[in-house]
Amino acid sequence: MRWSWVGLLAVVLACAEAPRPVQTKTRWPVEEVAFTVRTVDPAGQPVPGVALVARGADRGSLVIRSGTTDATGTARLQVMPGWYVLQAEAAGFVSVTRTDARVPVTGKARLDVTLERAAPIAGRVVDAGGKPIAWATLRLSRSNETVSAPKTVSDAEGRFRFDGVPAGRVMLQAEKYKWSPTRLELVAPAPELVVVMGGLGSLRVQVRGPDGQPLPGGPFSISSMDDFVSMDDMSPDELSPEEAQDTTVFQQLPSGRYSISGRYTPVPGCEWTRSIAVQVLPGQQAEATVSFEGLHDAGPWRGRAVDANGKALDHGTVTAWGGHEEPPGLGLSGWCKGVVGQDGSFTLPHVFKAPRVLTLGAPEGAQDWEARGPLPSGTGEAVVFRRVSGSLKGRVVRPDGQPVGFFEVNGHSPNNPRGEYVRYVDLTHTYQWVIDVLGFAPALVRAQGREGEVLQVPDVVLEEGRTVQGRVFARNGRTGVPHQEVELVEEFDLDGHGPYRSQGAMTDAEGRFELKHVPGRLQFLRVDSKEHGTVLHALEPNETAVRLRLVPHAELHGSVTDGARVPLAGVSLNVRCEGGFTVSSRSDGAGLYSMNIPGDRECFVHPEGSPLNIRPPFPPQPPPVSFSSTRLRVSSGSRQSLDFEPRQGPVSLEVRVEASREFVTAFVLPGDVPWPRSPEALDDVMRAGFGSDPMPSTWESEDGHESFVPDFMLGADFRFSHLPLGHYTVFIRDQMDGADAILRIPVELTGTGVHVIQSARPGRGGGRPFMR
């Protein structure tokens, strides 16, 4: 079934690949060619003295050419054929960045650039008394948009100037340490500006209880509600309040809106919280009171904890949660705890209103229970609790029945001396995991998990396993391959999409290897030698001796162009082949690539363009090109030449998932692709699917420093650009602990523009489970 599914995909893709690669022996010339740039103003008159910088369009490119326009507004840059990002700057004009500077190999290239006359903004930064403020940092941006001009700093007389500002509405922001930030919205061009900055303010806060008397301790938190005020820049001394006469004073606060929170504790185990918004003005002290006055105790609130079958829950602690009906983060909230008796009864002594959610702490080895509204009246009625999630509980023992103290479950150690472990489950389906113990064969466990239930899994009784001996030969079947890694891979993890780790061994000088503690189930031996080739061998449950003969690689080479004889540099070519073999290459400055790929194997080539090479203050841009995947199979030892071109379709598809990119991915295939019937078939679909436009995970600041953004901080938004019209199938994969959850969404693209799909996370919103 596994390989027939690939055949089905081949039929689907054969009908929709765009464009088809062609065999060719094209090799581009290496000579530079003339790239002529002419700059004119809006009236069409030439603009001399324009500084031009052309950078290789692929992000990270070091190719830079520069020049200055002459009296006719013309400059000639000697460049290699390729794609460039061109930046033009001139005094009195708005800086222009062109991302369509393409130079073909067929001859000279020309680009006309129209420069918009600038509306400079200049002025002085002063305090309330008119005295200049030196070294204030000023930033200019289009209103509600990204920064449009580099930041500047006021001089010793408080003067500043922005050149190259486009006409229109802009936002000016001034800030300086120990001064309140100032924001001005204005229309460029503007007369000489006077930017008045105020000093720091202060805030005096008092917290009053229900009886109106001040509460000791004051507020317990303060946070800025303005995005342009960062409390991270404040020193600990500035945030350390002063206590005086039942009040708390925060000194040296930048002006702006703040959220202040206070709390009242009727008894230990119950806490009420109120948060209010306060405006702090520059140079002034604001007064605020966080008051619980008039708030009456609505307790005690009584109930009896039972499960869905009406059985009393005779353990743990119930916590009531309530409040936050005002704007997010403001208003009244609170919690109160009560111990559960033997008959499930509990009492919450002090609640200010009927709770909206109840949680029940569960015993060790299970997650909490929860009860949500509508809840009973609180006079002792039964309250039905349901588990937040289910779990599978198990134990690992040696052959003599003694528990194992140290073991790993999918690479993580529970560190339980009794040999016990817990696997939490979110969906009702079959889960599987691998247990590793030193000196024993890895154990594969499969069990049915049910949402909201705690189930016991039979003990895992370890086995020592078998010893497998073998030898790796070159293609002639006689010459051993020395110092080569041999991987032992689970059948369900050949493509490396699970959280599992393979075992391995290194061959000796004659190509021999030995693997100990091999489990008695079907697994695969995989060898990927850069020099000699690849082999994938199905290791049967009783097999103990093997001979592995490597299949030599095939050579794949060619060029990547934009379809107009313009070579594309920096395009990654990722090859994914059956058996989990992967190879990558990258097109060079002339758009050429060459790589060895596994011979005689079904593979898919996925070209991926690089994000554009644009420097700050301009925001990161989407990638310049998008490609479709291409299926191929190249005979061992042969050479094949394939040229790749981007898709040229008129529509883009955006898939937005309510999750982060940490575990969620999306991919697209042309045509009506049915549900995969197994995890192996899902791997085949994933190997063939079109990837989304690349999204950079590093960002460069104005001062040239790069910062990395991890996947869990990036939204799961995927864009597939330049798709031809037609029918497609979107798959969204949610990699969950122990399983995959998959959504399949057919889509018909019939018009130009952007087609948007909004989706819940598959693991939380109707995804079909796939056990690994």
Q: Which of 341, 370, 399 is the last residue of a domain?
A: 370
Amino acid letter, residue 546: V
Q: What is the mean pLDDT of residues 7-15?
A: 42
The rounded percent of the chain whose pLDDT value lies above 70 is: 87
* Largest distance between two CA atoms of the chain: 94
Task: Compute the distance between CA of residue 43 and CA of residue 45 in angstroms, rounded to an integer.
Answer: 6
Give, in degrees to the nearest 5, the angle at Cα 441 between 435 and 447: 40
Residue range 319-368, pLDDT digits in tens: 998 865 555 668 888 899 999 998 999 999 888 888 888 989 855 444 57
**Dihedral, 233, 235, 239, 243 alpha carbons, nearest 10:** -160
Whether 430 is in a domain gets the answer yes
Same domain, 275 and 314: no
**Residue 105's CATH number:** 2.60.40.1120
pLDDT reported for residue 543: 96
Whether 606 is in a domain gets the answer no
Same domain, 761 and 656: yes
Whether 770 is in a domain gets the answer yes
Higher per-residue pLDDT: 545 or 215: 545
Write the DSSP symbol of residue 2: H
Whether 633 is in a domain gets the answer no
pLDDT reported for residue 619: 56
Same domain, 470 and 543: yes
Same domain, 670 and 764: yes
pLDDT reported for residue 325: 53
pLDDT reported for residue 364: 47
Query: Residue 302 in contact with residue 221, Cβ under 8 Å?
Result: no
Q: What is the CA radius of gyration of the chain?
A: 33
Q: Is 616 exposed, middle or buried (0-12, 13-18, 19+ CB in 10 A)?
A: middle
Q: Name which of 320, 311, 391, 384 is nearest 352 in CA terms.
A: 320
Same domain, 216 and 252: yes
Q: Encoding tokens for residue 352?
A: 């200010």
Q: What is the mean pLDDT of residues 747-766?
A: 88
Q: Any residues with CB less than 8 A from the CB of 575 and at least 6 apart, and which?
A: 556, 582, 583, 584, 585, 595, 597, 603, 604, 605, 606
Whether 628 is in a domain gets the answer no
H runs (alpha helix) in 526-644: none
Residue range 376-394, pLDDT digits in tens: 989 999 999 988 778 899 9
Sign of CA dihedral 689, 693, 695, 696: positive
Whether 767 is in a domain gets the answer yes
Higher per-residue pLDDT: 171 or 143: 171
CA distances from 43 to 40, 47, 74, 168, 327 (A): 8, 11, 16, 19, 52
Q: What is the mean pLDDT of residues 284-299?
A: 88
Q: What is the mean pLDDT of residues 501-525?
A: 93
Q: Name which of 714, 703, 707 is nearest 616 in CA terms.
A: 703
Task: Compute the distance between CA of residue 583 and CA of residue 589 in angstroms, rounded to an integer.
Answer: 20
Task: Name which of 46-55, 418-427, 505-514 the model is least confident about.
Answer: 418-427
Indicate the pLDDT class of residue 221, thresholds 50, 70 and 90.
confident
Q: Encoding tokens for residue 380?
A: 């002792």
Same domain, 544 and 665: no
- Looking only at the bridges linking them, the beta strands covering 572-577 and 554-559 are unpaired
Same domain, 336 and 315: yes
Residue 95 has pLDDT above 60, yes or no: yes
- Give me the residue label for tokens 């134990």: 395
Same domain, 502 and 397: no
Same domain, 657 and 770: yes
Task: Name which of 38-52, 358-372, 423-437, 651-665 the model is least confident about.
Answer: 358-372
Whether 630 is in a domain gets the answer no
Q: Any residues with CB less than 8 A from the CB of 705 and at least 6 apart, and which?
A: none
Q: Which of 499, 532, 549 is the last residue of a domain?
A: 549
| Structural domain containing residue 710 | 647-772
Same domain, 95 and 53: yes
Same domain, 771 and 653: yes
Q: What is the mean pLDDT of residues 207-220?
A: 87
Whether 13 is in a domain gets the answer no
Indicate the pLDDT class of residue 615, thresholds 50, 70 and 90.
low
Residue range 55-81, pLDDT digits in tens: 999 887 888 899 999 999 999 999 999
DSSP, collapsed to helix, strand or coil, labels residue 376 as coil
SS3 of 663-694: CEEEEEEECCCCCCCCHHHHHHHHHHCECCCC
Q: Name which of 607, 603, 604 is nearest 647 in CA terms.
A: 607
**Residue 180's CATH number:** 2.60.40.180
Same domain, 544 and 502: yes
Indicate the pLDDT class of residue 751, thresholds 50, 70 and 90.
confident
The rounded percent of the chain whose pLDDT value lies above 90 is: 53
What pTM value is reported for the model?
0.79
Phi-psi region of 663 (alpha: psi -120 to 50; beta: other; left: phi over 0): alpha
pLDDT reported for residue 569: 93
pLDDT reported for residue 118: 87
Counted domains in the chain = 7
Q: Which of 461, 482, 513 is the last residue of a domain?
A: 461
Q: What is the mean pLDDT of residues 166-191?
A: 88
Task: Compute the distance between CA of residue 88 and CA of residue 296 in angstroms, rounded to an integer.
Answer: 68
pLDDT reported for residue 1: 34
Indicate the pLDDT class of residue 13, thresholds 50, 70 and 90.
very low
Indicate the pLDDT class of residue 767, thresholds 50, 70 and 90.
confident
pLDDT reported for residue 434: 92
- Give me the residue label for tokens 């006359």: 117
